[in-house]
Amino acid sequence: MRKSGLTDLEAILTVARYRSFRSSAAELEISTSALSQMIAAAESRIGVQLFHRTTRSVSLTDAGREFVEAIAPAVAVIRDATERAGAQKDSPSGRIRVSTSTGFARQSMPMFLSFMERYPDIELEMKAEDRIVDIVSEGFDLGIRLPENVPKDMIAVPFGRPQRGAVVATPDYFLRHPVPKTPHDLHHHECIRSRLADGTINTWDFEFRSKKIQLEPKGRLIVNSGNLARDAALSGVGIAFVNDWHVVADIADQRLQRVLEKWVPTFNRPSLYFANRRHKSSGFRALIAFARSWTPDSDA
C-alpha cells in the first residue's frame, strides 16, 4: 500500500472507486477482512455510515458521497507532497500504475522491464483491457493508447515505433484461395473480423496513392483482440488484419504470408498519457524520460 500517512482515508477513496472490498483490498495489498474492519472503524470515528454493503455490491451512501468529494482533493495534495519529498532520494522509487490495451501491453512490456531493471526501487502495475479507461477516476498514473484515442485534456508522450497493419493468412490458405490483389478482392475471402470495445465491428482501412478504401469485411469468426485474430489466422481459417507487431515473427518464419502490403497505411506511434499534475514523483519523471528515448532495439 502506498504510504502517505492517510491510510484510512485512502482506503475509503479506494473502496469508493472500485465499489468492491475484494478489488480494493488487492489494490491496497491487505486482506479483505482487514479492509472491512478499517472502514468500519473509520465510520465509527466519523459517526456516519459511508457505504451500503450487500453480499453482491458496495455503494456510497449520500453522506459517504459528500465525504469522498470533500476529502479527495486534500488527500491528492498530501499524496503529491509525500511523493515530492520522496523524489529527493537519489534513486527513483514508488509504484506506477499503467492502463493499456492488451496489444500495447505486450508491445511495451520490454520497455517497462528494461526500465525496472535500471531502477530496482520501482514497482510497476499494468492493467491490460481493451475498453477506454478514465485513468484519473480509476486511479492510474499513466495510460497507453494511440494518439487519436488520448483524451484532449491529457499530456501525451509518443514512444516506440510507428504502428503498421498487416493483412495475413497462412501459405496453405493461399494455396486454396486466390491471393487478393486489391482490397476489394477481400469480399471473396473468409475474413477474421474484430469487435471493438464499444461493440462495433472494426472496419478495414486501406490507402494507396491517395486512394482510400474502407471495407466491412465478411466472415463467420469475430474476435476481440489482435492475439486471437493472429491465432485464428495461424489455424488457416481465413485472413486477418492486425497490427504487424503481432505477426512479425510468424511472417519471418513463413507461418503467415503478408498480402496487400502497399495498401496498408502506417499509423502514429503509441503515446504514454497522463493528467497534468503539478507535482510528479521521481519514478514517474524517470519513466517519462526513459520512454522518450526508448526504441524496441535499445535499452535506452
Residue 5 has pLDDT above 50, yes or no: no
Domain span(s) for CATH 3.40.190.290 in the chain: 163-267
Q: What is the pLDDT of residue 299?
A: 47
Domain span(s) for CATH 3.40.190.10 in the chain: 94-161+269-293
For residue 206 the three cell numbers come to 486501406
**Rounded to the nearest 5 degrees, what angle is found at the Cα of 71, between the Cα atoms of 278 and 5?**
75
Q: 268 near 158, Cβ under 8 Å?
A: yes
Lowest-confidence region among 173-177, 235-239, 274-278, 286-290:
274-278
What are the angstrom distances between the C-alpha of 68 and each of 94, 99, 134?
25, 23, 18
Residue 259 has pLDDT above 90, yes or no: yes
Return the closest-CA partner of residue 9 out of 70, 63, 95, 58: 70
Lowest-confidence region among 28-32, 71-75, 123-127, 168-172:
28-32
pTM of the model: 0.61
| Per-residue pLDDT tens digits for 53-63 | 987 889 999 99
Residue 3 has pLDDT above 50, yes or no: no
Fold (CATH) for 94-161+269-293: D-Maltodextrin-Binding Protein; domain 2 (3.40.190)
Q: What is the pLDDT of residue 226?
A: 87
Domain span(s) for CATH 1.10.10.10 in the chain: 7-86
Domain 163-267: which CATH number of 3.90.25.10, 3.30.470.20, 3.40.30.10, 3.40.190.290? 3.40.190.290
For residue 86 the three cell numbers come to 520522496
CATH number of 7-86: 1.10.10.10
Q: 58 near 11, Cβ under 8 Å?
A: no
Q: Which amino acid, residue 186?
A: L
For every residue of 47-86, DSSP letters joined together read TS--EEE-SS-EEE-HHHHHHHHHHHHHHHHHHHHHHHHH
Please give the backbone phi and psi of residue 230, each rounded to the nearest 5 degrees, phi first. Answer: -65, -45
| Per-residue pLDDT tens digits for 136-165 | 888 899 999 988 888 888 889 989 888 889
Residue 1 has pLDDT above 50, yes or no: no
